[in-house]
């Protein structure tokens, strides 16, 4: 059944906060999740370095775990017996209170690789991209201010029905704020978003609908 | 007699001979086959003459977003993000006797939500290689 848009929410990240040697949080000690204001965890900074260490202080190679920056999680092999600590930076997120709609799109460029003798075109995927926009009333200037003040990538989180599970979380830049008003209406804005990949090559993540 | 659009089904599969699953909650689609006519008109002609070039196909599908449609909506999104193989079968009248079937590249996956509307999903596919046309 279709979902009502009124239940959707949009969160935006604020300035990064440092984590220093924070221990794994899952009961089995195999998953680290940034726990803060979001029920589903906060994202890691898309570009800042992250260090994983054993409880004895030894640094763990990046091949020894899987890092999901948008999900704010570090997952260790089930065969692991170590206790781990994480040092890095996460982005606390907060709801955009004046948002009343959003749109995001994932696009892929395709290259034509048709060859002589073919009757139909053949194609290959080249680059992926993410973009979108958030519609918000001009009473909350959080997003609009970020357009001009932030030179660092931000993180937008889109919820469709519940904050227990986000639909999508994307890194990128807020690159425009179009503000319009009319004598018989309210001041309304549309903030445009342009995705940008994190240090691990991922610009958007989906928490509940499979990887990627 | 006209064919009712309500019976149309758009299905996807990760293998051409595999199981095709209907993408849930869709309510609009368009499938376009393009013959790419090339103008070969020469001096002295009053009317244009053309020959067929490289044929192409594209698909647009839209409807309502559904979080639990793993083998439909999610399969499309994963094919886009992971550049994995995906086939589409558009059953024009909802039967297996009138359909287009083709390998595709997913080029667009868009989600839209507004406070006074519904959560909507639209997707675009580019065909690659020759399609199978039932009729």
The helix/strand/coil state of A31 is strand
The helix/strand/coil state of A64 is helix
Listed in sequence order, the residues at least 6 apart from A156 whose beta carbon sits closer than 8 Å to its beta carbon are A10, A11, A12, A13, A104, A132, A134, A169, A170, A172, A193
What Cα–Cα distance (Å) separates residue A147 from each residue in A12, A143, A172, A174, B31? 12, 7, 11, 5, 39
Q: Which residues of chain A does B108 touch, with a Cβ-Cβ cutoff of 8 Å?
A: 105-108
Any A CB within 8 A of B106 CB = yes
Residue B115 has its nearest CB partner, among A101, A103, A211, at A101
Tens-digit pLDDT profile for residues A23-64: 876 545 567 777 654 555 789 999 999 999 887 778 988 888
The helix/strand/coil state of A56 is coil
Q: Given an 8 Å threshold on Cβ–Cβ distance, is B106 in contact with A102?
A: no
Model pLDDT, residue A174? 92
Q: How confident is the model at residue B135 (pLDDT cuts 50, 70, 90)?
A: low
Q: Measure the CA–CA gap between B52 and B50, rounded to whole angstroms.
A: 7
Q: Given an 8 Å threshold on Cβ–Cβ distance, is B54 in contact with A114?
A: yes
Tens-digit pLDDT profile for residues B93-117: 998 888 999 999 999 999 999 999 9
Residue B107 has its nearest CB partner, among A3, A108, A209, at A108
Tens-digit pLDDT profile for residues A68-79: 899 888 888 777
């Amino acid at each position: 059944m279709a979902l009502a848009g009124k239940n959707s929410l949009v969160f935006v990240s604020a300035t990064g906060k440092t984590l220093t040697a924070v221990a794994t949080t899952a009961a089995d000690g195999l998953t680290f999740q940034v726990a803060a204001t979001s029920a589903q965890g906060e994202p890691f900074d898309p570009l800042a370095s992250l260090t994983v260490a054993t409880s004895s202080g030894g640094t763990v190679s990046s091949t020894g775990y899987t890092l999901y920056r948008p999900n704010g999680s570090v997952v260790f092999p089930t065969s692991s017996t170590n206790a781990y600590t994480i040092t890095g930076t996460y982005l606390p997120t907060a709801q955009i209170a004046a948002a009343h709609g959003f749109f995001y799109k994932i696009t892929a460029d395709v290259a034509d690789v048709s060859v002589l003798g073919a009757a139909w075109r053949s194609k290959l995927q080249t680059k992926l991209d993410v973009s979108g926009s958030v519609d918000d009333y001009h009473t909350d200037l959080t997003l609009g201010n970020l357009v001009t003040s932030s030179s660092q990538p931000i993180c937008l989180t889109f919820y469709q029905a519940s904050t227990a599970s986000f639909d999508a979380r994307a890194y990128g830049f807020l690159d425009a704020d179009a503000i319009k008003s009319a004598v018989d209406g309210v001041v309304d804005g549309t903030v445009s978003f342009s995705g940008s990949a994190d240090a691990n090559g991922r610009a958007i993540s989906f928490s509940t609908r499979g990887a990627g | 007699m006209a064919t009712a659009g309500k019976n149309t089904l758009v299905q996807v599969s990760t293998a051409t001979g595999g199981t095709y699953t209907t993408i849930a909650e869709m309510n609009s689609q368009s499938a376009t086959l393009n013959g790419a006519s090339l103008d070969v008109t020469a001096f002295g002609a009053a009317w244009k003459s053309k020959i067929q070039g490289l044929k192409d196909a594209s698909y647009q599908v839209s409807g309502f977003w559904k979080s639990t449609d793993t083998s439909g909506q999610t399969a499309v999104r994963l094919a886009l993000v992971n550049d994995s193989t995906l086939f589409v079968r558009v059953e024009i009248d909802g039967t297996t006797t009138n359909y287009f079937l083709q390998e595709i590249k997913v080029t667009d996956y868009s989600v839209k939500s507004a406070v006074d509307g519904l959560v909507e999903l639209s997707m675009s596919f580019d065909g690659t290689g020759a399609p199978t046309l039932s009729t």
